[in-house]
Amino acid sequence: MVNARFSRRQVVLGAAAVPLAWSVLPRAVSAAPSPMREQVELDTGWSFRFGERGDWQRIRLPHSWNARDGQDGGDDYRRGAGWYRRELPLSAESAGRRAFLEFDGANTTTDVWLNGVHSGQHSGGYTRFRFDVTEVLRPGANDLLVRVDNGENPDVAPLSADFTFFGGLYRGVRLQLTDPVHLDLLDHGGPGVYLRQREVRADAATVEVTAKLANDSEQAQHVDVRATIIDDDGRVVAEESAPAVSLAAGGRRQCTFPVHIGSPRLWNGRADPHVHRVQVQLREAETGRPLDAVTEPLGLRTFAVSPSDGFSLNGEPLRLHGVNRHQDRRGKGFAVHDGDHEQDFALMREMGVNALRTAHYPQDPLVYDLADSAGFAVYTEVPWVNEITDSAAFRDNVKQQLRELIRQHYNHPSVLFWGIGNELGFHQTDKDPQINALLAELAELVRTEDLERASAYANVLKRADDDPFTEHAELSGYNRYEGWYEGTADQFGQWADSLHAADPMRKIAVTEYGAGANIDQHGPASLAAPPVPDGQWHPEEYQALLHESFIAQIDERPYLWGTFLWNMFDFASDSRDEGAAPGINDKGLVTHDRAVRKDAFHCYKAHWSDEAVLHITSRRWTHRTEPDTTVRVYSNAESVALTLNGAPLGDGTRDGRVFSWPVRLRPGSNVLTAQAEVHGSVHTDEVTWQLSQQ
């Protein structure tokens, strides 16, 4: 099977664009008629300055002016307006087409001027938006000016959060040129095509195709709409057309029609992440002349959440082994490239992840493509965190951002849960009525926009489990930090069982749990004595012990429909100063630069992955002062042999995928060697520790 992904990138060839649709280009896309769109990438040729004065500097996208000061601590990174400008050329051959400027994401409020004319404003830092610039774009050179402001704005969510609000044009920008009659590009940044799975069975499936049509010409038009569903081996598995549609001059309308598929191959998570492609074509009814086309992903699947049995996919139980992920990276902030996203997915796949929460905002369009092809179940959420402004403008903005989130990612088979908020009311106990009212509106908006998927809400640790905030969404998520912010790690299971017993019909997930770890800090650790969370001592050994405990407790509770550890990667939070890492939240299982997998990473890999795992923990604690210690090894082998300086240490204690031995080191160099047979092959891991002379 070609496990390929659809990309937003295209190569412009004259008046048409040929999609570079997959990492391995399938015959289906290359053989299909080219969409009559011209797409011009605008990543280069920009000049930038921060503020109203100062020199312009040459940059290319993606770009953030906080790439360094947003992750060095002090809570003093630059917030305000940054200006971008470039020349936008238009060929004479492209004149007369509809022109749309498309931004994949800019943080936070963006204003655009073309040739001195204000083209529009968008408020919200994490979703795609477009402006129609047809009337002001002219053949030859055009002046494009963009203002992006990441300053505090009481009417735009989020108002506050435990991550840096990196300012800038940090995702791609492009010019889309279409025929005057086209699939609607102004539908909240969505594709103009929406695929609803009406019925999915082993022997047949029915997909309802909705195409939103726009006629920006001065004459009425009669158009045909046709949907072609293509397998990943290039085979056409279904085709259907809607009855001819009449479009008034300047009119908008939509058409909906079913497409039937016999003996469908299902999207089955990591076991078989099979993605079909649906090409929706728009043609003149009388002549058959192609006008526009859009290709969207389709993964046929059913899923359900039970309050007693957890999550199931295509009728089979599936434990969701999930992580949270922030999109930033050391030295780049939010301005990451496609290769960075791809590396993150490679690390998650290596660890055995099968579920992803895009905390706490919509992420790059490529992230959802990668999740489709990786077979991840995605929980993606609107960026409403912590606080509310009691204003109509704020409420409208959150609803706008949720509607954009749903429209833009509706067709992705990986997306299963819409998050409507995170940790609300923690800082504003006097705003409960307003928060409840808006949560109710958002839950209803999800029901209106999407009848297939469920809404979810993540409750903060300091609020009651039955807080009214948790009553609006269909699914309940809880951010739990036993062993870090309160209590001890072994109390997690008791909390979960108590909640489940008190409210057995509640569908419970754990949306966050974890502990900090600095890979340069090491020492004896005990779950009975957690480090101080906001202190400077975050030894790697404690994080590993906490996650060992949580894995064991989670495995014993099948009623949890999902668990999402916090966090897959260290990330920037410029207000933090802890763990000897100013500006960084160090709860990741991989370092901010993606260079080091912490011990806890290997613990999960031993539990979740099918790959062979043999990992001696505390390997970076190379200089010791106490001779007596415990050696711990993570492995998915049946047994592990350990030697110290060549002498066998006998059978260790096994607890699931954790093996341990008490050892006494000798002064000087000590070589520890672990060996095990996994999947029929012998594997070896070795570390050297130095014991200082007393």
Where in the sequence numbering do the catalytic residues fall?
423
Nearest of 268, 259, 282 to residue 195 by alpha carbon: 259
Q: What are the residues facing 253 on neighbouring strands? A: 213
* Angle in degrees, CA 73, 76, 77, rounded to 5: 90
Cβ–Cβ under 8 Å, residues 8 and 365: yes
Burial of 625 (0-12, 13-18, 19+ CB in 10 A): exposed
DSSP string, 474-525: SEEEEE--BTTTBS-GGGHHHHHHHHHHH-TTS-EEEEE-----BTT-----
User: What are the tokens at 270?
Assistant: 């990591």
Nearest of 122, 123, 125, 159 to residue 384 by alpha carbon: 159
Burial of 47 (0-12, 13-18, 19+ CB in 10 A): middle
Please tell me the distance from the alpha carbon of residue 164 to that of residue 567, in angstroms, as a whole number. 15
**Residue where the block lists tokens 């010019």:** 175
Burial of 450 (0-12, 13-18, 19+ CB in 10 A): middle
Q: Which helix (H) or strand (E) holds 657?
A: none
Please tell me the distance from the alpha carbon of residue 517 to that of residue 581, in angstroms, as a whole number. 10
Nearest of 370, 433, 192 to residue 294 by alpha carbon: 192
Cβ–Cβ under 8 Å, residues 692 and 651: no
Q: What are the residues facing 663 on neighbouring strands? A: 629
Please tell me the distance from the alpha carbon of residue 511 to that of residue 478, in angstroms, as a whole number. 5
